[in-house]
């Protein structure tokens, strides 16, 4: 294992952990659910991907072992994390979680959001039956 690849793997893992740190800062600092889920699903995905890629390269060059499980994990996280973010934001919007007060535009507003708790439950019931 050469020194160059050592440094490269170190940089990749460091960048991944830095992105994870950025995610947590975003979760604390951002004002509402939607901006937070934006921070969480985007930078956390890339952070985890970079760390996993670093681990994959490390085992490849240090132990000469190509881990198919890590490749599968990378693909899996890459597909699932954004979908999870999408579903969380959508569930939040449908259950009337307010947008940030400085929001300028709400393109989904024309669909008339449910006002009362009863209407929310009715909508969820339709969802589970559909």
Partner 1 sequence: MKVNDLILQTTTTLLTFIILIFSVYLFFAGHYTPGGGFIGGLMTSAALVLLLLAFDRKTIQKALPFNYLSIAAVGLMISVITGVIALFFDVPFLTHTFGYVELPLLGETALTSTLPFDLGVYLVVVGVAMTIIQTIGESE
Position among 1, 7, 83, 97 found at the interface with partner 1 (CB under 8 A): 83
Q: Does 87 contact partner 1 by CB under 8 A?
A: yes
Residue 107 binds to partner 1 (criterion: CB under 8 A):
no
Quickly list DSSP for 59-78.
Answer: HHHHS----HHHHHHHHHHH
Q: Interacting stretch for partner 1, rule CB under 8 A, among 10-18, 24-32, 76-84, 100-108? A: 76-84
Which of the stretches 18-26, 37-45, 58-66, 80-88 binds partner 1 when contact is defined by CB under 8 A?
80-88
Going by C-alpha positions, the residue among 56, 88, 59, 85 that lies closest to residue 73 is 56
CA distances from 11 to 6, 16, 55, 84, 86 (A): 9, 8, 12, 28, 30
Shortest distance (Å) from residue 1 CB to partner 1: 24
CB of 72 to partner 1, least distance (A): 6
Whichever of 7 and 75 has its CB closer to partner 1, that residue is: 75
Structure letter (DSSP) for residue 97: P
Chain centroid to Cα 120, Å, comes to: 26
Rg from Cα positions in the chain? 20
| Interacting residues toward partner 1 by CB under 8 A | 69, 72, 75-76, 79-80, 83, 86-87, 94, 111, 123, 126-130
């Amino acid at each position: 294992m050469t020194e160059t690849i050592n440094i490269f793997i170190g940089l990749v893992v460091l960048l991944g952990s830095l992105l994870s740190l950025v995610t947590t800062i975003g979760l604390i600092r951002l004002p509402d659910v939607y901006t937070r889920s934006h921070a969480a699903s985007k930078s956390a995905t890339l952070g985890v991907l970079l760390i996993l890629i670093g681990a994959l390269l490390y085992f490849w060059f240090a132990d000469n072992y190509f881990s198919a499980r890590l490749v599968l994990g990378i693909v899996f996280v890459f597909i699932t994390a954004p979908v999870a973010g999408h579903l969380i934001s959508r569930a939040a919007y449908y259950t009337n979680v307010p947008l940030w007060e400085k929001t300028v535009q709400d393109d989904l507003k024309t669909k008339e959001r449910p006002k009362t708790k009863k209407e929310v439950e009715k909508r969820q019931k339709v969802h589970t039956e559909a």
